[in-house]
Amino acid sequence: MVKVYDLNGNAKGEMKLPKVFAGAYRPDLIQRAVQALQAARRRAYGTNLLAGQRTSAHYHGVKDTRYSMKNREVARGPRIHGGPSGLQWTLRTAPHTRKGRRSHPPKAEKKFVLKLNKKENRLAIAAAIAASIMKDLVSARGHKFAGELPLIAVNDVENLSKAKDVSKFLSALKLDAEIERATEKKVRAGKGKNRGRKYKQKKSVLFVVSKESALLKAARNLAGVDAVSVSQLNVELLAPGAQPGRLAIWSEDAICKIGEIDFGQYTFSRAKGEKFG
């Protein structure tokens, strides 16, 4: 039995957890599922098929003809013939030349998608849910909390429509240190600073609700806080960066809905760390 908290942070009652919270911890499946989600978001990119080849440069290899390149002690590559004096005999087209094509450019037809079986995806979600109540994993992610896990709130939390009310509720649960931790920004190392992702920010609390509600929009304005309905819950939200153990707050109805989902017969029959198959 786990305590249920009201909007003031007081224990209102108790609730029995579904069986999925006692499932096996499978970090291998969690990592595969997160990588599959990240790969699905990648967009295809490639170079123009004519890049580096829009030129009149060509190779003259026949001897005793006009512009012949034999016996001239020059590299036998495609060269510009005619035109301005500054471009005469200039190498083009070949990969090693100035303004030439790339030897192995990125191709738009490359596939980034990683396939994942439906059963494996369900097992990964179940494993991530089970990991969210393991204190050592939650602490290893850097979350600041006190008390027992998981944190279950009354259904009234789904009706919070303002960010300040959500912040007040988190403070009532003694998560001020967690809120403060997520507000810190870190400058990214490397060239990513120049590519629209200068700052890195930590992930904080995850709200899981039973349906589309006002909380989904209200929680957006808090740093590092995410909110999702049970129907849209995925592995990456429960284990950002494939690192399981995210601090989650569930509503009562969300717990009930999670208990109704069939995560597969292998969820509870496998030992910790044992491979699926």
168: Cβ–Cβ under 8 A, 6 or more apart, which residues?
A: none
Q: What percent of the chain has pLDDT over 90?
A: 79
Give the pLDDT mean for 117-146: 94
Indicate if the pLDDT at residue 266 is higher than 70: no
| Reported confidence tier of residue 86, pLDDT bands at 50, 70, 90 | confident
Rounded to whole angstroms, how far apart are CA atoms 146 and 243?
Answer: 20
| pLDDT for 268 | 59
| pLDDT for 108 | 93
Q: What percent of the chain has pLDDT over 70?
A: 95
| pLDDT for 274 | 45
| pLDDT for 265 | 65
SS3 of residue 188 by DSSP:
coil
163-183 per-position pLDDT tens digit: 999 999 999 999 999 999 999
Indicate if the pLDDT at residue 270 is higher than 50: no
Class of domain 2-36+116-260 as given by CATH:
alpha beta
187-226 per-position pLDDT tens digit: 999 999 999 999 999 999 999 999 999 999 999 899 999 9
| pLDDT for 62 | 78
Give the pLDDT mean for 99-125: 94
Q: How is 125-181 classified by DSSP, letter by letter? A: HHHHHHHTT-HHHHHHTT----S-SSEEE-GGGGG--SHHHHHHHHHHTT-HHHHHH
pLDDT: which is higher, 145 or 66: 145
Domain with CATH 3.40.1370.10 in the chain: 2-36+116-260
pLDDT: which is higher, 81 or 144: 144
Indicate if the pLDDT at residue 271 is higher than 70: no
Mean pLDDT, the chain, whole residue set: 91
